Amino acid sequence: MEVPEKIKPDWKFDTRVIHAGQKPDERTGAISQSIVPAVAYAFPDTETAAAIVAGRQEGTYYGRYGNPTTRMLELKIAELENGEDSIGLSSGMAAISSSLLAFLQNGDHLLVTKDVYGGTFSFVTSLAPRFGIQYDFVDCTDPDAVRKHIRDNTKAIYIETPSNPLLTVLDIRMLAGISKERGIPLIVDNTFMTPYLQQPLDLGADLVVHSATKYLNGHGDVLAGFVVGKKEIIQLIRKKIAGDLGQNLNAWESFLILRGMKTMGMRIRTHCDNARQIAEYLSLHPGVEKVYYPGLSSHPQHELAKKQMRGMGGIVSFEIKGGMDAAKAFMNRLSLAIISFSLGDPETLVQHPASMTHFSIPAKDREKFGISDGLIRLSAGLEDPDDLISDLDRALALPLPEKLKKAD
């Protein structure tokens, strides 16, 4: 498939997200992208087949290494992130693991921000050592700490910003400066922000990863991930990592993401607005110990967030007074918000990191990383904010169960 011409640079995001990388089908005139579920592809001659397999000519030759429907989506996401190319993969964890394995091998060292998604923690601590990869978790808000932990064999720095679940905002430009000083690539998980709110490559990052399961698709019916960056790195991942490991994204899920992304700007604005109202409400409630949301002036990186991000995102984390039992009792009393592992869906979703997404992190490490037993992560959906706040208010207003009162 040929790469479409660049879209007009003065188009705003809502226009770009609909038209980037897409145009009506030349043969049928269909505006919607066709779904091509093929595994094998025919060639006019052996010379063409060899050229495409070798990467000398653009084209698709086998399902594990690409797909026409997925390719259109890859071009769209690369365009929106201002990257040279991107690759679509079967999950967010496929994107995370492939991006790391693109730079790391036996004997190499990795720096990771200390406040990180549980799946990333599990990969780094459990699977990466089987490849002979060493690691350190570092407070990436502190440039001196980052420099101090860089070794001669450090081959990558991996961060999330805002982080999951504490919404720590990291200075991408500052960290990119350190990575370039030492010739180390900086990888940024941009899942919480999407290219609508933040473009890490423009701030100096080398690779961007997304769990497209979340806001990019936005409808809770797809597992997918993306890596965006320079063409040579994306080709390495396509040919030597994701393709050989069988991490390919299928055509149907690519189609669903293409469809979901057309409303991404409108969705993200509503997620952000609902999250802001929820965070402001929770920050004033006596039953809430602490609220983590970059849009609040109390957030330690509030000013950085205003400079680096075009919005504060749709995630609010907060600590309930009373610890784990109180947090779980509160969640069980919710009637509108749904207890679930994911985020970025039309429905408001809540989860308890210590016993759900970050359960794989040992308790002593969770405490060190700031993930308390009373912490709850809320993904603000697209419902009316008044209804959401009423649901939270009712759950917070109900008295504690008798056994919790006795425990207090």
- The catalytic residues are 64, 117, 189, 214
Could you tell me if 360 and 118 are in contact, meaning their C-beta atoms sit under 8 angstroms apart? Answer: yes
**CA 151/CA 196 separation, integer angstroms:** 35
Q: Which structure tokens are listed for 22?
A: 């897409």
**CA 175/CA 196 separation, integer angstroms:** 21
Residue 101 CB coordination number (10 Å) = 21
Q: Which structure tokens are listed for 169?
A: 């905002």
**CA 95/CA 98 separation, integer angstroms:** 5
Q: Which residues on adjacent β-strands are paired with residue 87?
A: 227
**CA 72/CA 380 separation, integer angstroms:** 30
Task: With residue 339 as reference, give the H or E element that holds it.
Answer: strand 338-339
> 184: closest CA among 104, 271, 250, 119?
104
> 216: closest CA among 118, 208, 407?
208
**Length in residues, the chain:** 408
Q: Which structure tokens are listed for 180?
A: 């370039």
What residues contact 174, with CB distance under 8 A and at least 6 apart? 143
Residue 95 CB coordination number (10 Å) = 31
**CA 171/CA 256 separation, integer angstroms:** 33
- Report which residue type is found at 62: Y
Q: Which structure tokens are listed for 194?
A: 């999407």
How far apart are the two ends of the chain, measured CA to CA in Å?
64
> 114: closest CA among 96, 95, 135, 129?
135
Residue 292 CB burial class (10 angstroms; 0-12, 13-18, ≥19): buried
**CA 339/CA 274 separation, integer angstroms:** 18
**CA 64/CA 60 separation, integer angstroms:** 10
